[in-house]
Amino acid sequence: MTLYEVAVAAPVDQTLTYGHPADRKDDISIGSCVLVPLGRRRVTGYVLDASPQTTAEQPEFTVKPILDVFTPAPFFPAFLIPLYRWISSYYHHPLGEVIKTALPLAPSAKSGYRVKVIDIETLKLHEELPERSRLCEFNWFQALLQTQELPPSQVAKIRQDKIQKKYLQALIKDGSVELVSELIASQVKAKEETVYTLAPTFFENTGISPTVELSTLQPEDDLHLTKIFKPSERKTLALFLNNFIKSGTKPVARKVLLTLYPNCAKALSTLCDEGIFSKHNQRVYRDPFGNTITSAPQTLTLTEEQQVVLEEIKPNIVAGEFKPFLLFGVTGCGKTEVYLQAAEAALQQGKTALVLVPEIALASQLEAQFYTRFGDQLALFHSGLSQGERLDQWQRVREGSAKVVLGARSAVFAPMDKLGVVIVDEEHEPAYKQEEGPRYHGRDVAVMRAKLASCPIILGSATPSVTSYNNTVKGKYRLLTITKRVQEKPLPKVNVIDLSTKKRARRDLFFSDTLIREIGNTLDNNQQALLFVNRRGFSSTMLCRDCGHVLQCRHCQVSLTYHRSKGRLLCHYCGFTMSSQIICPSCRSQNIAGVGIGAERIEEEAKQLFPAARVARLDSDVAVKRKRYLSILQSVKNKEIDILVGTQMIAKGLHFPNITLVGVIWADAGFAIPDYKAGERTFSLLSQVTGRAGRGDHPGKVIIQTNQPHHYAIRFAQAHDYRAMYDQEIETRSPMGFPPFSRLINIKFNGPDETKVEQAARKTSAFINDDCKQHHIDILGPSPSPVGKIKDKFRWQLLLKSVSATALHNVCSRILSERGSLCPQNVRMVVDVDPENMM
DNA sequence: AGCACGCCGACT
DNA sequence: GTCGGCGTGCTC
């Protein structure tokens, strides 16, 4: 018999061994998703290995058989299994859960339970028993008497209610009913559109050559068709040809034809039957603004620097050798073209390419550029896809019909074989770090994937992370630099305004006189301005003017933000809201005022200052829907907006030539975060925002307002001097021994009981204390997390720091193996390897 | 994560 | 003496 190594989708640390199902002949292939028994439950399992059972050695546990196979063919490719295993061990997360997050959906199924009556006589007796008379009050019990069984959905409901669950258990205990587990598979259908194109027989029948004459074909042409068609069919054919020719002979969607001519369904099917059309299913791509992309692929001529960079990388693509490159190039230097051509080089070798971008950048032009270049060979993964669409993309990649994958973090798990090159754009972005479940870093996983697949990886950024840049200094990565912008456009001039000394005509506003003047000039020139604010809402804190009390969320240790558009106070951590008409909970005063900047307020002030200007705001409040987000971008593009106010969301990847002024309202927001990366983050954010100005023919101008004009992050952002910022960071981090001079693992504890959380943190700290001393690991803490409570859960943390990654991982494994005794059940322990965010 | 086993307090 | 609270540990 065959034994299978299976990772189960449950927090189980080891993989488990299962046997072959009795009623099945053929082997189950590696990469299959299966249903396995786990204790009393049934869970999804992932088949990682198969081996014949050795008669010599019998395992000491009872091997249970696999119950069912969800996927007829292997679902995930076997070559990704080493990557899954690496993530599981490096990030200290159960393998089964890693695989679950790596797959496009859970192709599964929890087990559901059906109730079946075994002994109807005892069940009937229950009605008469006085202590169980309440049973009869439940509808499900009546139904049980009638139908002798209950569906899984109903059982799930019953089990949610404590009292009803008790009664159900009693029935099971005395043997009158039985729980039967049942598979509830999630129904996922790939979403496709029906399209029509000209059938091969059409060309035979008409004598028209598909290559030569089609482009000159007119819809009203006499097509020399052998059969005389009805008017409706002629009309349908003409409509089709119209669209077909207009789109450059791309298949026409049924939906489009039906909209133009609602009654054409019959005619369409006739035309198919007559061999004029052929019908098939296809995904129809649109650009970020919802327009169908028609432009033809074009390869730009490269600048000399771009050329040099590509020549460095190409040999590794051809030879199939792992090599990490850090592509350091200023904004607007044409990194995208390098990516496109690197991917093309991979395709020429019969290989594939994987391109990762931060989620938000996907809505930008990048998506359109890749589609224009690679067309149907491109697969796209972003959070806007439905489960079905995601599965659809996954299968296209799996089959090999999509050879270039463009996507956010989780696209690093795309199942492409023969990987030729991996590209991580904006590699410094903290968004690459997954902050729940397996807390992997998309960039680092990408590096490991390239290593396992033996191909080069390009990490691109205008402001590389200090860690990555340091890797080039250490010789771990190869540094490639592009210093010149395309067409040698100058970088925008950056003007830093000291808010604490500069006089302001309007003390009540956040706009300095310079900023007001510059916005005025910009508007006069018919150009657009972008104002960047770090926070959502109207004002970031609500302060009692009488006693100084700051209003906090009831469930989190954070101050509430006032959102004027909603007329409410909002917690940005848990979503709690309350009326803004309140009295101070501490002194009952009514004199409560909002202080601190928010995007809403800046929008308000901009409207006040420039009543004639068209002002819009773009932040996550406005952009809850991708559609709305895109429509605002579209209006900026169409010059229907003069001033765009926004948060982080507008800092990345927007390419609008008519924006000539960028204003940073208050650059200091990031400094308040107690994190060794605060300076680095502020620098890259300012650099990115700065890069939005002057992308067209007119030179750009940037105004940064700050209270700390001498802070290095601001000074070096002003000077566009990445290297100086890097040197400064190295100088400050070296004596402190922070990364890149060490590695960090953050052990986090959370739970509803504050003292228990604290105790668990202290106990864990004591448990590893000697070990850490011996292996040169610093323990920082235990201490309450910077945000001490979120969603009614108190939070403590223990930060481990060491030069030796191995030592850190060993200690971590020791902690996790003792998790049970260190943490009571209502305290959760979370391990965060290479934490990106300490909050 | 579930789910069971097991060991202590408050009730019939 | 039982019922049920939740602390501890296992799942092939």
Rounded, the Å distance between the CA of A827 and C1' of B9 is: 24
Nearest protein residue by Cα to C1' of nucleotide B2:
A41
Rounded Cα distance between A299 and A442, Å, is 29
**Cβ contact A230 with chain B strand, < 7 A:** no
Instruction: Look at residue A296 in the predicted model and tell me its pLDDT.
Output: 47
- Token pair, residue A318, equals 């051809």
Q: Which nucleotide is nearest to A38 (CA to C1')?
A: C11
Q: Which nucleotide is nearest to A15 (CA to C1')?
A: C12
Q: Which nucleotide is nearest to A753 (CA to C1')?
A: C6
Whole-number pLDDT of residue A395: 87
- The residue ranges of chain A whose pLDDT is under 50 are 107-109, 111, 183-188, 190, 285-296
Decide: CB of A187 under 7 A of nucleic strand C. Answer: no
Closest CA to A155 of A184, A175, A133, A128: A184
DSSP H/E element including A800: strand A793-802
Distance (Å) from CA A753 to C1' C6? 15
Burial of residue A11 (CB within 10 Å: 0-12, 13-18, 19+) is exposed
- Identify the pLDDT of residue A292: 45
Q: b/e for A192-215, b at 16 or more Cβ within 10 A? A: eeebbbbbeebeebbebeeeeeee
Sign of the CA dihedral running A301, A304, A309, A315: positive
Length of chain A: 839
- Of the candidates A100, A103, A80, A87, which has an alpha carbon nearest to the alpha carbon of residue A417? A80
SS3 A19: strand
Measure the CA–CA gap between A823 and A26, rounded to whole angstroms. 45
DSSP string of A328-353, one letter each residue:
EE-TTS-HHHHHHHHHHHHHHTT-EE
Instruction: Answer whether any strand B atom is within 7 A of the Cβ of A828.
Output: yes
Residue A612, class by beta-carbon neighbours within 10 Å (0-12 exposed, 13-18 middle, 19+ buried)?
Answer: exposed
Count helices and strands (H / E) in chain A.
25, 34
Tokens of A111: 């087990």
Q: Prior bond to A37 cis, omega within 30?
A: no
* Closest nucleotide to the alpha carbon of A166, via C1': C4
Residue whose tokens read 């089990």? A159
Could you tell me if A767 and A760 are in contact, meaning their C-beta atoms sit under 8 angstroms apart?
no
Whole-number distance in Å between A541 CA and B8 C1': 48
Structure token pair of residue A527 = 């150009």
Q: Is the omega angle on the peptide bond into residue A740 within 30 degrees of 0, that is, cis?
A: yes
Does residue A10 lie within 7 Å of nucleic acid chain B, judged by its CB?
yes
Q: What per-residue confidence (pLDDT) applies to A276?
A: 83
For the CA of A825 and the C1' of C7, the distance in angstroms is 8
Asked whether residue A830, judged by its CB, lies under 7 Å from any atom of the DNA or RNA strand B, the reply is no
Contact in structure between A65 and A18 (CB atoms under 8 Å): yes
Q: Output b/e per residue, A27-37; b: 16+ Cβ within 10 A.
A: ebebbbbbbbb
Whole-Å CA distances, A831 to A89, A758, A796:
12, 16, 12
Region of A338 on the Ramachandran plot (φ > 0 left; ψ -120 to 50 alpha; else beta): alpha
Q: Contact at 8 Å (CB) between A576 and A791? A: no
Token pair for A432: 């690459």
CA distance A394 to A552: 44
Q: Which of strand B's nucleotides are less than 7 A from any protein C-beta?
A: 1-4
The nucleotide minimizing the C1' distance to residue A111's CA is: B2
Please give the Cα distance from A38 to A673 (Å, whole number).
44
- The label of the residue with tokens 């460095």 reads A312
Measured CA A15 to C1' C7 distance, in angstroms: 26
Residue in A215, A217, A193 with CA at minimum distance from that of residue A279: A193
**Which nucleotides on chain C have any atom < 7 A from a protein Cβ?**
4, 6-12
Contact at 8 Å (CB) between A321 and A420? Answer: no
SS3 A324: strand
What pLDDT shows up at residue A285? 47
| pLDDT at position A187 | 44
Q: How far apart are CA A72 and CA A66, in angstroms?
A: 14
Q: What is the C-alpha to C-alpha distance for residues A668 and A681, in angstroms, rounded to an integer?
A: 11
Q: Got the DSSP string for A619-648?
A: STTGGGSHHHHHHHHHHHHTT--SEEEESG
What's the CA gap between A119 and A148, in Å, rounded?
Answer: 9
Distance CA A711, CA A398 (A): 50
Q: How far apart are CA A699 and CA A721, in angstroms?
A: 19
- Per the structure, the residue whose CA is closest to nucleotide C9 at C1' is A820
Q: Quick one: pLDDT at residue A83?
A: 97
Relative to beta strand A743-751, strand A701-706 is unpaired
Question: Within 7 Å: CB of A67 and strand C?
Answer: no
The DSSP symbol for A75 reads: S
Nucleotide with the nearest C1' to A40 CA: B3
What is the pLDDT, as a whole number, of residue A696? Answer: 74
Residue A439 near residue A690, CB atoms below 8 Å = no
Q: How far is CA A448 from CA A84, A422, A444, A474, A805, in A?
A: 10, 10, 6, 18, 16
Which A residues 36-55 have CB within 7 Å of strand B? 38-41
Is strand B in 7 Å reach of the CB of A12? yes
- List the structure tokens of A634: 């579209």
Cα gap A91→A438, rounded to integer Å:
7
A7-36 residues near strand C (Cβ < 7 Å): 10-14, 16-19, 36
CA atoms of A557 and A794, how far apart (whole Å) = 9
State the Cα–Cα distance between residues A751 and A794, nearest whole angstrom: 5
